[in-house]
Amino acid sequence: MSATEFPPTLAADLTRWRRDFHQYPELGFCEFRTAAIVAAALERLGWKVAAGAEVMRADARMEVPPLAEIVAAREEALRDGANAKWVARLGDGLTGVVGTLDTGRPGPTVAFRVDMDALPVRENTDPTHFPARENFVSTRPGRMHACGHDGHTAIGLGLASVLPALAKNWRGKIKLIFQPAEEGCRGAKSMVAAGVLGDVDHYFATHLGISLTETGAVACGTDHILATTKLDATFRGVAAHAGVDPHIGRNALLAAATATVQLHAIARHGAGASRVNVGLLAGGSGRNVIADRAVLKLEVRGETTPICAWMAIEAERVLRAAAAMHGVEITVENVGEAGSAPCDESARAVVRRAAEKSGASRIVEFSPLGGSEDATLMMDAVQARGGKATYLLVGTPLPAGHHHPRFDIDEAALPKAVALHAAIAEEILGA
């Protein structure tokens, strides 16, 4: 069997996995069912499996849900048929899984990273929405695979299925990294901190769609990757009667509102694109009470990591100045981050050759990402020790944009993605 010839059941398996994950979406650090299914499948297919605390450092996670939510998600996963042995290995939200295939012959280590988490989006249930029409719409109201991570996880399992037979004459190792909590750029940092990338020479992260909307098309790399920092600011003031003695109060909501306006007035950086956005502002308890508490959630982005770092410094300066202006206390917490790691030319060349071998309908050197991705933290870790990395795209039509209630993918893209990634592995380890 070659890297482009697979069992006839593969396409059906990929569709079945994708639809199963789609029906049971799980948010970041709560992917117990998904991770347990992945770990059990890897074990069954002969991969060496590491999970939980073996592949994640608990204290390096970002914006971890409250323990009660994690416990509820674990119980929900068990009710929905998750493998109890593997759920237990995932602890309190350590939902990362890594499968390793060692050929037993010296050679480089290739890593493929896929993400598993869903979004807090309520899926459209109209019959014109394909998952609804085909009866695999989300069974968990308010949660949805609205970014294609269900397809990414299926691609990872497809690779786990076909690579053992292909690798019999290869040299080196293959790692399949199943990452939690990509949304919000929260999960990769803990896997990097745990040393998962410490032996990786070639790293490939993958996304379906984004700016590539033709099934069978491949982008060897992405550009316009924005570095980002996510910040939560909590303002604490003093409550008082708004009519009788407002002068006694210290208005936390007014401080947060001042910060919101002034954050958007930060000068844009002259060395490249920069962004700031306040996405949530909440506070107070009633119309006749001086608000003693407010929460502001924001993000900054930059064309490069240094530009993003400058924006983050400026944002925190504005936040603290607004708090001081209104005489309230403030706590600022970094809850997510990603860099702007470039896609290496040599890694793009490998993808290009693999795309030609696997029959891609169209190959482009770059396609814009436009947003941020914490796979860049993994890329940076590999590149810092001399390895090569790229973030590639596999094309699929999109009936609606990413993070939209009607988001969907063309399932025909899944076997094409598996063929591409298998060919990438062959290019490096089969030479």
245 is catalytic: no
Task: Given the residues 20, 123, 182, 183, select the one marked as catalytic.
Answer: 183
Q: Give the span between the Cα atoms of 254 and 370, in whole angstroms.
A: 33
Q: Is 183 a catalytic residue?
A: yes
Which residue among the candidates 63, 115, 117, 182 is catalytic per the annotation?
A: 115
N-to-C CA span, the chain = 16
CB–CB of 184/65 below 8 Å? no
Give catalytic residue positions.
115, 183
